Chain A
């Protein structure tokens, strides 16, 4: 450890405390109740699935739960529907 490191060293306990506070504030709300973000995720996917066959493996879901707000990012690849009568789909 160099001399600089000694001055640069940041305490880790306050970070642990903050992470726990954010996490537990969320978990206490969720456990036993329905989780809004999880519900949205399921229902949005269900709506899309009503119209297009989606491959669950090809769905990218990113979630960032924050103190004040959460962000849910759903990335669905919509396959081009097979055209009827064997005609090739034309580009619009």
Chain B
């Protein structure tokens, strides 16, 4: 039975697209058939993070409007054959997404894949609502920072009221993915602690992704971090999160960055 998962946050720049790509590639490496769908019409970026920007011919809107078949728009990853991308349109207006059209496409994707991962645009407008509309599971991406936590709270409220599942009176399965976390700063009292955020948002924790240089390196190269450096700290956290999504019980730990002697001696952070 296919699962539709929305990666959402309200606030922009917290790591939705990075997490969509990383979780998608992690699930695919676990043998699942995965498609990642970009809902950010007009500001698509999942193609770039996945390294498929030069292979986009048709997009989600073409499929929604019937100008292209789903199979023509799906881009199969070159590194993994069980990972595909459905890109968003870069030129079209976001109003071109219709509710009925999205429903049809999601229905077709459910037939073909084990996991349909929808990368939501930022905000609480139509695009974000359509991305979460058909979800069975939601991953709420949050940074340990006040504005991100506030926006996540708002999005959790919408997941509980504006989705099909909520309208049918069912409970939406929501998980918190804490990204850009710096354990040292949290321990020093300079950053909101995981327990604080969990207490405020009161949804279960899917994983804690430590702040890491590997994430930017991977996006520079156009590869999900879980494919580019599977042994890195953030990748380990994403792999654990993917296993939890599959229902496995995995203890939550924050993998620490292993630093060599040279980077310890000279690796001063800029910020």
Is A17 a contact partner of B196 (Cβ separation < 8 A)?
Answer: yes
Is B189 a contact partner of A17 (Cβ separation < 8 A)?
Answer: no
Which chain A residue lies CB-closest to B186? Answer: A13
How many angstroms between the C-alpha atoms of A24 and B149 in the bound complex?
10
Is B157 a contact partner of A12 (Cβ separation < 8 A)?
Answer: no
Within 8 A of B (CB), among A7-33: 11-14, 16-17, 19-21, 23-24, 27-28, 31-32
Which chain B residue lies CB-closest to A24? Answer: B153
How many angstroms between the C-alpha atoms of A32 and B158 in the bound complex?
10
Closest Cβ–Cβ distance, residue A27 to chain B (whole Å): 7
Given that A13-B186, A19-B146, A24-B153 are known contacts, is A32 also in contact with B192, CB under 8 Å in the complex? no
How many angstroms between the C-alpha atoms of A80 and B153 in the bound complex?
48
Q: List 29 A-B contacts (CB under 8 A).
A: A11-B188, A11-B189, A11-B190, A12-B189, A13-B189, A13-B190, A13-B191, A13-B192, A13-B193, A13-B196, A16-B145, A16-B146, A16-B192, A17-B192, A17-B193, A17-B200, A20-B146, A20-B149, A20-B200, A21-B200, A24-B200, A27-B150, A27-B153, A27-B154, A28-B153, A28-B157, A31-B154, A32-B157, A32-B161
How many angstroms between the C-alpha atoms of A13 and B146 in the bound complex?
9
| Neighbouring B residues of A31 by C-beta, 8 Å | 154, 157
| Neighbouring B residues of A24 by C-beta, 8 Å | 150, 153, 200
| Neighbouring B residues of A13 by C-beta, 8 Å | 186, 189-193, 196
Among A16, A27, A31, max chain B CB count under 10 A is at A16
Within 8 A of A (CB), among B227-263: none
How many angstroms between the C-alpha atoms of A16 and B200 in the bound complex?
11
| Neighbouring A residues of B189 by C-beta, 8 Å | 11-14
Closest Cβ–Cβ distance, residue A33 to chain B (whole Å): 12
| Neighbouring A residues of B191 by C-beta, 8 Å | 13
| Neighbouring B residues of A11 by C-beta, 8 Å | 188-190
How many angstroms between the C-alpha atoms of A17 and B154 in the bound complex?
16
| Neighbouring A residues of B150 by C-beta, 8 Å | 20, 23-24, 27
- Per CB-CB distance, the 7 closest pairs between chain A and chain B, nearest first, are A11-B189, A17-B196, A13-B189, A16-B146, A24-B153, A13-B192, A16-B192
Closest Cβ–Cβ distance, residue A17 to chain B (whole Å): 5
| Neighbouring B residues of A32 by C-beta, 8 Å | 157, 161
Closest Cβ–Cβ distance, residue A53 to chain B (whole Å): 38
Which chain A residue lies CB-closest to B195? Answer: A17
| Neighbouring A residues of B153 by C-beta, 8 Å | 24, 27-28
How many angstroms between the C-alpha atoms of A5 and B99 in the bound complex?
57
How many angstroms between the C-alpha atoms of A11 and B196 in the bound complex?
14
Which chain B residue lies CB-closest to A12? Answer: B190
Contact indicator per residue, chain B 149-165, by CB within 8 Å of chain A (1) or not (0): 11001100100010000
| Neighbouring B residues of A21 by C-beta, 8 Å | 200
How many angstroms between the C-alpha atoms of A24 and B193 in the bound complex?
17
How many angstroms between the C-alpha atoms of A14 and B153 in the bound complex?
18
How many angstroms between the C-alpha atoms of A51 and B190 in the bound complex?
54
Closest Cβ–Cβ distance, residue B163 to chain A (whole Å): 15
